[in-house]
Structure 1
């Protein structure tokens, strides 16, 4: 078989994704301090992205080394499951951030832990169901005209996934708008109580809003092209367009640990400790959300 350069790029991307997110999963799993709801959600996101990276590597291996329709369906099912869990995980983190601001006094309670586990079960349960569809027979191997831009996914299957993405994006947009309002209101109240200058209040508010804009903008720029093309394209669409929209979507799993994990100060402390060779089972700092 002749190597497709795009498949090589996706395999390399999968390797980077796997390495990045494996670090996050190991750090969160082996650090007892990281049992707060926020870290559970970050760990779930990293696990989903890790599976996505492994899925890209396996897809390359099964296409060029062990060609098999069954293995191809299993790999596609793994990719659908992992990327769906990744996108859903971003929504779960957004919900957690919103609730931590709205219910600041009751956030550190047993109710929050229960709610977090419910979100994790819903996230992975829905994702696994989506991923099992191609393996269960909803694929286009015997009906090429029903294929989507991503073979062997059915056109209707990809439409459902694309519509689900738009629903998640709309929910995240609404929640982040609410978060911006809450942050602005809290900053203004603090400025009035402590007699801060308006300029310092404005700078802090703009910085917070800019951070939220980067998070939402990154998510949209990664997934919107593929979701739109998934709705408009079909089996006759040029493969080049599929790869041009699929690569940014997979890049989301490269950026997620940089945005949600490695920027967190407590995770940074553990990573620095690991780099210095002084890792211990109990960390001396208190976890924050």
Structure 2
């Protein structure tokens, strides 16, 4: 009897200790236990991040302003892709990569649209799979943009160091590079879904993204910031080289000067794209990095919305940069809009065949001779382009 009584007392004491430990963790899950059966709201409450239960003025403002911006973002980047496809002067590796960057920005517009439609009071109704997918789409778009910019930096470095305007890379290699970029982006975006999250380490949950591991945020933000620094260093080296070569070539023929000016203009356009990308994304990545290192002490949610808006503006800025910097791209945009509106298509189509020195040299002596031969053989190139667009 004494043995059984002691055993019963020990069991009761153990149960009380276990219950007290559960209550201390707030919600019935210890810090080392896996919370696979918990919903999204549990993780938000665990890190102290509020979820709007009712629609307020702020929620309406975010969705009301964000959705039109996303629509314009998708439409403008789609026009960049169409412009590269219909205009033969853009059929070079550098422009294929820029079109792929526009595809990444278009994808970002779709990702932000999905985010707008699953934010605010809608967040609490999401399943964990839907929440992971919502955030993975934004991560994929950023990784694809960074990988594209890195590919453009390497392509420009290899091309300009030989004082050429366009790379001799085959279309097959460009397509393989584009496929690799998207494969890498998808894998990086799905890493948290595949296991690198905080469901089994609640003490490692992020404040900005409550289901993400803070260690993953440190890795992801650090990798992107290091890539930024590398690309800036590459472009700085290219500009120093181009300026030095420009002085040496100043005594050569006018074609050499035109060719060099064309190269510099293209480099300036790409550098502006890179600069805007770094400016728009660096605050967000630094905020994620601080969240990963400091956790709640970083007060990251205070700056989260502003960083997201700034990052969203980047995908809208690139088509504006192409339009402002590139006369041929601007002319192609006008032609596309005219064809869509079915007004003055023939007149604008005729102007599409005019050579513009912002894209390539007027002289056919060096590397664009095959394209000039094709244009000489094609008398009604604009009409063919109209048929292709239709």
* TM more than 0.5: yes
For 1:14, the equivalent position in structure 2 comes to: 70
For 2:237, the equivalent position in structure 1 comes to: 178
The answer to whether 1:263 aligns with 2:325 is yes
Structural RMSD (CA): 3.5
Out of 325, 335, 352, the residue aligned to residue 273 of structure 1 is 335
Whole-angstrom distance in 2 between the partners of 1:29 and 1:134: 35
Are the equivalent residues in 1 in contact too, given 2:217–2:289 (CA < 8 A)?
A: yes
Out of 66, 88, 99, the residue aligned to residue 147 of structure 2 is 88
Are the equivalent residues in 2 in contact too, given 1:219–1:252 (CA < 8 A)?
A: yes
For 1:284, the equivalent position in structure 2 comes to: 353
Are the equivalent residues in 2 in contact too, given 1:42–1:261 (CA < 8 A)?
A: no
- Structure 1 gaps, min length 5: 196-203
For 2:287, the equivalent position in structure 1 comes to: 229
For 1:247, the equivalent position in structure 2 comes to: 309
* More displaced stretch, 186-195 vs 249-258: 186-195
For residues 258-284 of structure 1, what are the alpha-carbon distances to aligned partners after superposition, in whole Å with 9 as ceiling and x for unaligned? 23466333322211222333276xx63
Whole-angstrom distance in 2 between the partners of 1:125 and 1:209: 27
The answer to whether 1:98 aligns with 2:157 is yes
> What is the Cα deviation at residue 11 of structure 1?
4.0
Are the equivalent residues in 2 in contact too, given 1:76–1:134 (CA < 8 A)?
A: no
Whole-angstrom distance in 1 between the partners of 2:162 and 2:189: 35
Whole-angstrom distance in 1 between the partners of 2:321 and 2:148: 13
For residues 176-203 of structure 1, what are the alpha-carbon distances to aligned partners after superposition, in whole Å with 9 as ceiling and x for unaligned? 11111122112201224469xxxxxxxx
> Which structure 1 residue ranges, 4+ long, deviate > 6 Å from structure 2?
206-213
Out of 151, 156, 179, the residue aligned to residue 121 of structure 1 is 179
The answer to whether 1:2 aligns with 2:58 is no
Whole-angstrom distance in 1 between the partners of 2:166 and 2:267: 22
Whole-angstrom distance in 1 between the partners of 2:209 and 2:311: 13
Out of 223, 226, 230, the residue aligned to residue 164 of structure 1 is 223
The answer to whether 1:58 aligns with 2:111 is no
For 1:132, the equivalent position in structure 2 comes to: 190
> What is the Cα deviation at residue 53 of structure 1?
0.9
For 2:18, the equivalent position in structure 1 comes to: none
Whole-angstrom distance in 2 between the partners of 1:286 and 1:52: 33
For 2:380, the equivalent position in structure 1 comes to: none
> What is the Cα deviation at residue 48 of structure 1?
0.6
Give the structure with higher Rg (CA): 2
